[in-house]
Amino acid sequence: MTRSSADPDPTVLDRAGRREWIGLAVLSLPAFLASLELTVTHLALPAIGRALAADSAELLWIVDVYAFLLAGSLITMGTLGDRIGRRRLLLIGAAAYGIASVLAAYAPSAGALIAIRALLGISGATLMPSVLSLTVAMFRDPRQRTVAVGIVIASVSGGTAIGPLVGGWLLERFWWGSVFLLGVPVMALLLVLGPILLPERRYAGVGRLDPISAVLSLAAVLVAVYGLKQMAADGPGPLPVFSVTAGLLFAVIFVRRQRALRDPLINLRLFANRAFSTAVATLAFGIFVLWGFNYAFAQYLQLVRGLSPLEAGLWTAPSAVGVIIGSTLASRIVRWTAPGPVIAVGLALAATGFVVVAQVGVPPVGMTAGTGDLAILVAGAVIVSAGLGPMMALATDMAVGVAPPEQAGAASAISSTAPQLGGALGIAVLGSAITAVYRDEMSGGVVVGFPAEAASAATESLAGAVAASRMLPDRLGDTLLGAARQAFTAGFQLSALVSAAIVAVMAVTVAVMLGRGRVGPKPTTGR
């Protein structure tokens, strides 16, 4: 049966118009802010420490409590949006985020700031699941949806690139709290334009939110991420191992409960879809290597090359631009080919970038690298990020695109949680590998003849070696620092090669699992 010329083309009916694209610009605001906020907070820590008399543990919690609560609340918030309405959840979260941002800017003590940052994490968890699920609702044509998701991912990377510039400018001219006020105008604009430009999507047939499942999901992610972060900082000690084990136990209980519930928090049958499960796994492992690399890259620039935090941020900004280029180009390339091969080629490119990074060297003590030397290192980082950009955009699009409409919020939450867990694991595993190489290199007779206190600090970490070298005579300090920088660089090189191998295996796996077939639902005919 053929369609008459008078009948409307169903794919045209599903194509987004000007209103939807303007709405996407509104949705890009919280996506941009999410990464910008983390970047500027790291830059503000020294000023916060001085103003609020915060010790090192409090400064660590100011950063970590936001990440913990954000990661732990994503699944619950994404599922909640399916039940109460995704636009409603986004606007409630935006209002809470704006209020908490003001409170954070004027926090009277470190303890108060930690508590407020916890509220920011919970309210921040409403943003990305709502943004992604609303994007799916607004762009029902698969090709347009892929481009739209790519723009959202590019917005996240844009915040990472601009964060050091904006944060550095604010901190040079205003007090530390100014960095938290960045969220206020963004959320105010979202609250004004959101009700006008964004559609509401909720499904009456979705059951009630199970509070026990919500608590279990929070406990599983929260405890596991805490353990992984502790491993990255202190190695695999008893407490971190216990925390990760407890997180896995909570996860097992959570899964068993979902199977028994009539209305589960997450429909586990989503993972039976090969495209969905492959996309989620790709996101987790892709961010595993990216966060692990970024963690080591920042330390290398500051502790080996001797750059200031702002200078280091400027040298890392091009890699965020690489993600923007990779994600936006991939969204257009898939107009002519299937996403699987595009992701696989991008991963192969990223593996090449890691090999370039592994060629990194150590400058003489007392000197920072020349621009040409750093340019080679940054070029490798840009190749890595440009190669991972297609994975971030297209795998996210797969995960949210193959889910049934009534589960788009839950699918968006899973696609946001997987990178959080993968990233935390990447920092822990790759960071621990670098630490192991460093300590092995430093304990092999390098610190013999140095004062006991300086030798102990230098063997523990590169930061300890930098501090110890400042307390020693010039020649002795330079010798110790040179050895420590060489040891850290050896670990950095190893982590880059391990990352290259992981990404290469991912490329082959994605090529086999996704093949040349297109994934995602076919265009539907109604709004």
SS3 72: helix
Counts of helices then strands in the chain (DSSP H, E) = 18, 0
Q: What is the mean pLDDT of the chain?
A: 79
In percent, the amount of the chain with pLDDT more than 90 equals 7
Q: Dihedral through CA 511, CA 513, CA 517, CA 521, nearest 10?
A: -130
CB 465 within 8 A of CB 458: yes
pLDDT at 1: 38
**Could you give the CA distance from residue 347 to residue 111 in angstroms, rounded to a whole number?**
42
Beta carbons within 10 angstroms of residue 468's beta carbon: 25
**Could you give the CA distance from residue 75 to residue 66 in angstroms, rounded to a whole number?**
16
**Could you give the CA distance from residue 342 to residue 386 in angstroms, rounded to a whole number?**
12
CB 434 within 8 A of CB 488: yes
Mean pLDDT (whole number) for 165-189: 82
pLDDT at 488: 86
DSSP conformational letter for 302: I
In percent, the amount of the chain with pLDDT more than 70 equals 85
> Per this entry, what is the length of the chain?
527
**Could you give the CA distance from residue 137 to residue 81 in angstroms, rounded to a whole number?**
13
DSSP conformational letter for 346: H
- Using alpha carbons, list the distances in angstroms from residue 81 to 360, 402, 438: 46, 18, 46
Burial class (CB in 10 A: 0-12, 13-18, 19+), 486: middle
Most confident of 99-113, 271-285, 288-302: 99-113
**Could you give the CA distance from residue 47 to residue 167 in angstroms, rounded to a whole number?**
12
> Is the Cα torsion angle 151, 502, 229, 60 positive or negative in sign?
negative
CB 452 within 8 A of CB 505: no
First to last CA, the chain: 24
Q: 319-334: buried (b, 16+ CB within 10 Å) or exposed (e) per residue?
A: bbbbbbebbbbbbebb
Q: Dihedral through CA 362, CA 368, CA 370, CA 373, nearest 10?
A: 30
Token pair 């609250």 is found at: 191
- Where residue 449 falls among pLDDT bands split at 50, 70, 90? low
pLDDT at 5: 38
Give the model confidence (pLDDT) of 130-148 as tens digits: 888 888 888 877 788 888 8
DSSP conformational letter for 268: G
CB 184 within 8 A of CB 102: yes
Instruction: Tell me how far the alpha carbon of residue 454 is from its chain's centroid.
Output: 36
Choose among 195, 253, 225: nearest CA to 125. Answer: 225
Find the angle CA(36)-CA(37)-CA(41) to the nearest 5 degrees: 120
Token pair 């996407």 is found at: 24
Mean pLDDT (whole number) for 460-470: 73
**Could you give the CA distance from residue 1 to residue 487 in angstroms, rounded to a whole number?**
71
Higher-pLDDT residue of 405, 318 = 318
**Could you give the CA distance from residue 360 to residue 380 in angstroms, rounded to a whole number?**
10
- Ramachandran category for residue 406: left, alpha or beta (phi over 0 → left; psi -120 to 50 → alpha): alpha
Higher-pLDDT residue of 313, 108 = 108
For helices 452-460 and 462-469, the axis angle rounded to 10 degrees is 150
DSSP of 468-506: HHTTS-HHHHHHHHHHHHHHHHHHHHHHHHHHHHHHHHH
Counting Cα atoms < 13 Å in the Cβ hemisphere of 389 gives 33
Instruction: Tell me how far the alpha carbon of residue 214 is from its chain's centroid.
Output: 22
- Where residue 522 falls among pLDDT bands split at 50, 70, 90? very low
Cβ partners under 8 Å of residue 444, min gap 6:
none
pLDDT at 237: 76
- Using alpha carbons, list the distances in angstroms from residue 235 to 20, 60, 298: 48, 16, 19
pLDDT at 499: 92
CATH of domain 16-200: 1.20.1250.20
Instruction: Tell me how far the alpha carbon of residue 244 is from its chain's centroid.
Output: 20
Token pair 């970490």 is found at: 461
Give the model confidence (pLDDT) of 372-391 as tens digits: 568 888 889 899 988 988 88
Q: Report the predicted TM-score, pTM, of the whole model to 2 decimal places.
A: 0.78
For helices 371-401 and 339-357, the axis angle rounded to 10 degrees is 150
Beta carbons within 10 angstroms of residue 494's beta carbon: 16
Tokens of 55: 């010790």
Give the model confidence (pLDDT) of 217-259 as tens digits: 888 877 887 787 777 666 677 888 888 888 889 889 988 888 8
pLDDT at 464: 73
